[in-house]
Chains A and B, each alone.
Chain A
Amino acid sequence: MSGPGNDPTMLEIADRSVAMALDADASQAEAVVIRSAESLTRFANNEIHQNVAASDISISLRFIDGRRVAVASSNRIDERALLDLASTAGEMARLQPESEAFTSLPTPAPITFVEGAWSQATAAADPELRADAAAAVIGAAKGIGAQAFGLCSTSSEEVAVASSLGVTATEPRARAQVLTVMTDDEGGTGYSERVAVDITDLDAAAIGSEAAERTAAMRDPIELAAGDYPVVLDGFAVVDIADMLGYVGFSALAVEEGRSFFEPGRRVGSDLVTLVDDSAERSGTPASFDYEGMPKRRVQLIENGVCREVVHDAQTAARAGVESTGHGLPAPNPWGPFPVHLSFAAGTTSSDELIGPIDRGLLVTRFHYTNVVHPKQAVITGMTRDGLFLIEGGKVVAPVRNLRFTQSYLDALSGVEAVSSERRALEGFLGTAVVPAMRIASFSFTGATEH
């Protein structure tokens, strides 16, 4: 089964590796082949300072001997290397006792190929095009006397999965990103970012203008005491809520092991909160199957504030007696399934109207260096960054120095009072998230810093 425009040699390599494993007496085998090309132009202080291009092809072989599993990987794909791979994986598999934890590789399931996963323009982007995008952002910074820092990246990969049980899938995927942080000598700082499949959908000048506008508004920030404030979180901050909840809560393995807050039917947000993992979301970076070759299914994680489902890979699905939702990561994978196409539903309020009802609160552009304090309560700490503003009487009245927060993201979702109608596609923890802005009744800021 294959998507449009892929290279059949990828599947041939995977099939060849599986055949070699079976020749080496594997009872089952699965091979994942990834051909990748990644280029990234980085700029700082209004100049390109790092400019890189990398290409590779890698193969990972999962070798099954009864109920024993081993994984060997390499970036060599010649005949000798593939034979070595099968031999190494087979030797490792036989070193271990039989395991009750493993039952079988997944059997094939029909894949509906999503549209919009590939862009030839992104795959063909050259260093000159990325440099021109950087120059457009830098131009916006120079326009307000600021310094621009950031990147323009273009990447493409072709993924092929084959197994001895008949799984066979290939798909080419592409991704482009432009982001910038701007600063100036008056304490101004701002941020903007976009992710798309097609580089031509990214307007670098507009991204630069948004960051420049925020930077100018952040000049001469005031000090504000830590405390509980109503907030409006821009999408750049909301993406962290999606990521962290995906990390601590919405994996079937986390639920199995008692690490998650998730219980079907548990209310964790207001009626306005709906979160899905949807790999067909066209405004994100679509994909059709996971690294086990299983079709990706739309998973309703939170529906109108209530927990509904978690994501599965083949192993958690087998133990739960359900079908994989197509969220397997590359083997060996001790982390379990993971949502990588998170999407909060849009609301009906325009972004500009979100702050209107706030008598005294904060507008937060983004978070920085967040980490889990209490996993089962989803308590997260982190800093604000690149744009924090005081709201009084429904209007932004002053820029504010950064604050530290220590806040349960579940409690935050319970306090969601409004969700923006506009959404942004942004880089997530392991994928791309599509997120709106949100107004939240109370958010706990627990410390301050000096800028």
Chain B
Amino acid sequence: MRDIVRRALDTAAQRGAGYADARLVRRRERSASVKGGAVEKLGSAESEGLGIRVLVDGAWGFASTGDVSGAAIDEAAALAVRVARASSRAGEGAVELAPRPVAQGRYETPVAIDPFEVPLERTVERLTRAERAMAVVAGVATTTAGYGALREWKSFGSSDGSDIEQIITHVGGDLEVTASAADDLQRRTYPESSGGYAAAGYEHFESLGLVERAPIIAEEVVELLTAPVLPPGRRTVVLHPSQLYLQIHESCGHPTELDRVFGAEAAFAGTSFLTTNKLDAGFRYGSPLVDIVADATTPGGLGTFGWDDEGVAAQRVPLISEGIFSGYLTSRDTASRLGRESGGSVRADGWDRLPLIRMTNISLLPRPGMTLDDIVADTEDGLWLEANRSWSIDDRRLNFQFATEIAREIKGGKLGQLYRNATYTGITPAFWGSCDAVADASTWTMVGVTNCGKGQPGQAMHVGHGCSGARFRDVQVGVGG
């Protein structure tokens, strides 16, 4: 693999690239799902190719090819240089790269049981048992149990001497059950609607407890069909990690992407309210209980690696410290504009996509003092919100609206009445500013997201979010119920 990378870099240099980096990626995936008593999907996918990024006179060009023959690699490298030169027809070409140490080494996701060595019938058998455990509950409409495993072998090289090998493995499994009435559809998922993935081996899938949890969510979805709709009002809400992770993702992860701040995504996903004048200016993002970090070294996170796709070493970057905005997710070419070094947040979705600033593991740190149960017990009048079912946020990441699968009344510190079709909405800094309790580490969970969309052409990134649950005051709920 390294010879192919080296050839691409050499060709780019010969064609005039001032800087180049190249990634040869081999990706292997396995997927299975059981639905309605039958195998719905059994799939295997393999892909291999090279992506090369070049800087010519301060302008970027990128080309990729699924053909890794010498001639095709040369052609891709030459095309990348031509593309970079074309960029100068509209622009000054002022890209500068923040310095980083030359990266050399190897990283591999710790795996106890290799998912690609486990016979698929073992997986299908477990999925079938979980799916049956949901299907036997009276009143359910559809029942699905799913599994997925992904492995990427990546060889990265750069014209300034970096040479890295990485093997990343992600495994997940999940359940979904629906119940339907004339004008309503209810859904329950487990562990989360995002698929239950972790950076781990097959042992993660076996630890999820799908078969044990299946009847519980099936009974919940049937109960939801006849539950009252959540009435509108301003309420105290306690967010379970299965909802809180997406609140972090949308209202803390994306706004801190520095390329968004600089307008790189303005024509697609939008920009950010978190303009650079707010950095080192004491901008209050949340209450003093809110500590959020981007940590690419967290075990099990889908954003965990050895080096990012620019060869910057994995690290922990504080984003919000005791409620004060303290840092961005950065790349070499954006960090340089702030006079800083990259925090190592550049990632690409496969060999055929340009590396972009992406989340790693964006996590809300736990607070010693109260368990999540303690927070419920400490809440006189509120709502427990669990399991995301819908999300939306504006193009500067301020006005958000979420819906959850489960809402339960909290009265006198105890969970009570179940509601359906729960929604809540708010403005990002005001919402995080209303956080008055963060649970301790006993419920801290690393949630994997496999569908984080960004970029054109589109890229779907695997990212992680650790959180333990938290309470927020005076939140508008029950929109459009």
* Residues in A lying within 8 Å of B, measured CB to CB: 38-58, 68-76, 88-89, 92-93, 95-97, 99-102, 126-128, 130-132, 134-135, 138, 147, 149-151, 153, 179-181, 183, 257-259, 332, 334, 368-377, 379, 381-383, 385, 402, 404, 406-407, 444, 446-451
Contact = CB atoms under 8 A, between A and B. Distances in A.
28 contacts: A41-B87, A47-B92, A48-B88, A48-B90, A51-B62, A51-B83, A51-B86, A52-B457, A56-B66, A57-B67, A95-B121, A97-B38, A97-B39, A100-B37, A149-B263, A183-B266, A257-B141, A258-B141, A332-B31, A369-B270, A369-B393, A373-B390, A374-B185, A381-B480, A404-B401, A447-B479, A448-B399, A451-B394
A373 B457 contact: no
B456 A42 contact: yes
A54 B457 CA distance: 10
B267 A44 contact: yes
A186 to B, nearest CB: 16
A135 B354 CA distance: 22
Give 5 nearest A-B pairs by CB, closest first. Answer: A47-B91, A406-B480, A258-B180, A127-B86, A56-B66
Contacts of B266: 44, 149, 181, 183
Nearest to B399: A449
Contacts of A135: 89-90
Contacts of A55: 64-67
Contact of A53 (B60, B63, B141, B262): B63
Nearest to A45: B263
A118 B142 CA distance: 40
B60 A74 contact: no
B42 interface: yes
A373 B403 contact: yes
B152 interface: no
Contact of A48 (B40, B87, B119, B398): B87
A50 B43 CA distance: 33
Nearest to B354: A52
A53 B84 CA distance: 11
Contact of A52 (B36, B39, B63): B63
B264 A50 contact: yes
Interface in B211-232: none
Contacts of B392: 369-371, 381-383, 404
A311 B476 CA distance: 39
B42 A69 contact: yes
A53 B79 contact: yes
B475 to A, nearest CB: 13
B60 A50 contact: yes
B98 interface: no
B85 to A, nearest CB: 8
B370 interface: no
Contact of A406 (B45, B64, B401): B401
A224 B443 CA distance: 42
Main secondary structure of the interface of A (DSSP, over half): strand
Given A48-B91, A402-B394, A447-B401, A71 B44 contact: yes
Interface of B: 31, 33, 35-49, 51, 59-67, 79-80, 82-84, 86-92, 119-121, 124, 141-142, 144, 178, 180, 183-185, 262-264, 266-267, 270, 273, 352-354, 390-396, 398-399, 401, 403, 421, 423, 425, 427, 456-457, 476, 479-480
Contacts of A102: 38
Nearest to A44: B263
Nearest to A256: B142
B395 A128 contact: no
Given A131-B90, A181-B267, A383-B399, 4 more contacts: A51-B61, A127-B86, A130-B86, A377-B184
B33 A76 contact: no
A88 B116 CA distance: 12
Given A53-B63, A369-B392, A373-B403, A95 B120 contact: yes
A72 B263 CA distance: 39
A374 B391 CA distance: 12
B90 A127 contact: no
A151 B456 CA distance: 8
A406 B479 contact: yes
A18 B270 CA distance: 45
B180 A53 contact: no
Contacts of B31: 332
Given A52-B457, A258-B185, A377-B183, A332 B43 contact: yes
A371 B183 contact: no
A93 B41 CA distance: 10
Contact of A132 (B36, B89, B183): B89
A102 B31 CA distance: 18
Given A131-B86, A131-B87, A72 B401 contact: no
B44 A88 contact: yes
Contacts of A376: 180, 183-185
Contact of A374 (B91, B144, B184, B270): B184
B38 A101 contact: yes
Given A42-B456, A258-B180, A449-B398, A70 B42 contact: yes
Nearest to A138: B90
B183 A446 contact: no
Contacts of B80: 53
A432 to B, nearest CB: 16
